[in-house]
Amino acid sequence: MAIHEPHKIKTVRLLSFPSLEERKNHLARARFNVFNLTPSQVTFDMCSLGTGATTQEQLAGSLIGDEAYAGSRNFEALQNAVQEVLGHSYVCPTHNNLGSVKLVVSTLVPPGSVLPSNARTKLDVLNPMGVEYPDTRDHTESVFTGNMDLEKLEATLEAGGVAIVGLQAFADGQHPFSLENLRGVRALADKYGKRLICDGSRVIENAWYIQRHESGQADRSIAEIVKQIVKTCHIFQIDGAQDPKCNAGGIITTDNPDDHEKLINEVVVFEGLHTYGGMAGRTMEMLARGLLEMCEEDEVHWVMHQTERFTQRLRDSGVPLERGCDGAYIKADEFLPHIDKHAQDTLSAALYLISGVRAVAHGLVGRDRLVPVQIPRLGMMNEQLDQVADAVVSLLEQRDEVTGLQATASGTWRDEMEYRWVYPDLESYSFDTFPYEIHTIEKVGALTRGQREKAIRGAGYNTFLLRSADVTIDLLTDSGTSAMSSDQWAAYQGVRASATASDEYGRLVQALQDVTGYQHIIPTHQGRAAEHILSQIMIEPGQLVPGNMYFTTTKLHQELAGGVFVDVIVDEAHDPESDFPWKGNIDLDKLKALVDEHGAEKIAYISFEHSVNMAGGQPVSMDNMKEVYEYCSALGIPVFFDATRFVENAYMIQTRDPRYSKVKIRDIVREMMLYGDGCTVSGKKDFLINIGGVLCFRENAEWARAAEEMLRVYEGNVTDGGLATADLAAIARGVEEMVDDRYIKSRVEQTRFLGDLLLDAGIPIVTPPGSHAIFLDARRFLPHIDQDEFPAQRLAAEIYVETGVRAMERGNVSKGRDPETGENYRPKLELVRLTIPRRVYTNDHMRGVADGIKRVYERRDEIKGLRFVYEPAKLRFFQGRFESL
For ligand P71, the binding residues (CB under 6 A) are 477, 479, 526-528, 551-554, 609, 613, 642, 644, 682, 684, 693
Nearer to ligand P71, 679 or 778 (CB): 679
Shortest spacing between CB 612 and ligand P71, in angstroms: 8
Helix (H) or strand (E) holding 376, with range, is: none
Shortest spacing between CB 689 and ligand P71, in angstroms: 10
Nearer to ligand P71, 336 or 475 (CB): 475
- Do 276 and 72 meet the contact criterion of CB atoms below 8 Å apart? yes
Shortest spacing between CB 349 and ligand P71, in angstroms: 48
Nearer to ligand P71, 455 or 681 (CB): 681
Nearer to ligand P71, 37 or 792 (CB): 792
Count CB atoms within 10 A of the CB of residue 446: 12
Shortest spacing between CB 527 and ligand P71, in angstroms: 3
CA dist., res. 473 & res. 447, Å (int):
12
Nearer to ligand P71, 44 or 550 (CB): 550
Nearer to ligand P71, 569 or 785 (CB): 569
Nearer to ligand P71, 426 or 549 (CB): 549
Shortest spacing between CB 682 and ligand P71, in angstroms: 3
CA dist., res. 347 & res. 360, Å (int):
9
CA dist., res. 240 & res. 244, Å (int):
5
Shortest spacing between CB 602 and ligand P71, in angstroms: 24
Nearer to ligand P71, 693 or 716 (CB): 693
Shortest spacing between CB 784 and ligand P71, in angstroms: 28
> Across the strands, what pairs with 8?
442
Nearer to ligand P71, 256 or 690 (CB): 690
Nearer to ligand P71, 383 or 609 (CB): 609
Shortest spacing between CB 499 and ligand P71, in angstroms: 23
Shortest spacing between CB 829 and ligand P71, in angstroms: 15
Nearer to ligand P71, 242 or 554 (CB): 554
| CA distances for 162 relative to 7, 108, 259, angstroms | 46, 11, 17
CA dist., res. 40 & res. 26, Å (int):
10
The bridge status of strand 484-485 relative to strand 520-524 is unpaired
Shortest spacing between CB 878 and ligand P71, in angstroms: 8
Shortest spacing between CB 770 and ligand P71, in angstroms: 11
CA dist., res. 744 & res. 651, Å (int):
7
Query: What torsion, rounded to 10 degrees, do the Cα atoms 128, 134, 138, 140 define?
Result: 100
Shortest spacing between CB 26 and ligand P71, in angstroms: 42
CB hemisphere CA count around 399 (13 angstroms)? 20
Measured at the CA of 479, the angle between CA 475 and CA 480, to 5 degrees, comes to 110
Query: Can you state the angle between helices 449-458 and 791-803, rounded to 10 degrees?
Result: 150
Shortest spacing between CB 614 and ligand P71, in angstroms: 8
| 121 DSSP assignment | T
CA dist., res. 215 & res. 233, Å (int):
21
Shortest spacing between CB 460 and ligand P71, in angstroms: 18
**Cis, peptide link before residue 768, omega less than 30° from 0:** yes
Count CB atoms within 10 A of the CB of residue 219: 7
3-state DSSP helix/strand/coil % of the chain, to nearest 5: 45, 15, 40
CA dist., res. 315 & res. 322, Å (int):
9
Nearer to ligand P71, 178 or 554 (CB): 554
CA dist., res. 870 & res. 868, Å (int):
5
The bridge status of strand 564-567 relative to strand 606-609 is unpaired
Q: 410 CB contacts (<8 Å, ≥6 apart)? A: 365, 416, 417, 418
Q: Show the DSSP H helices in 405-463 as ranges.
A: 449-458
Helix (H) or strand (E) holding 524, with range, is: strand 520-524
Name the 3-class secondary structure at 868: strand
> Across the strands, what pairs with 522?
695
| CA distances for 877 relative to 358, 816, 817, 874, angstroms | 51, 8, 12, 9
CA dist., res. 356 & res. 370, Å (int):
19
Nearer to ligand P71, 211 or 682 (CB): 682
Nearest to 587 by CA among 546, 642, 543, 636: 546
Nearer to ligand P71, 462 or 477 (CB): 477
Tell me the residue nearest to ligand P71 as measured from the CB.
527
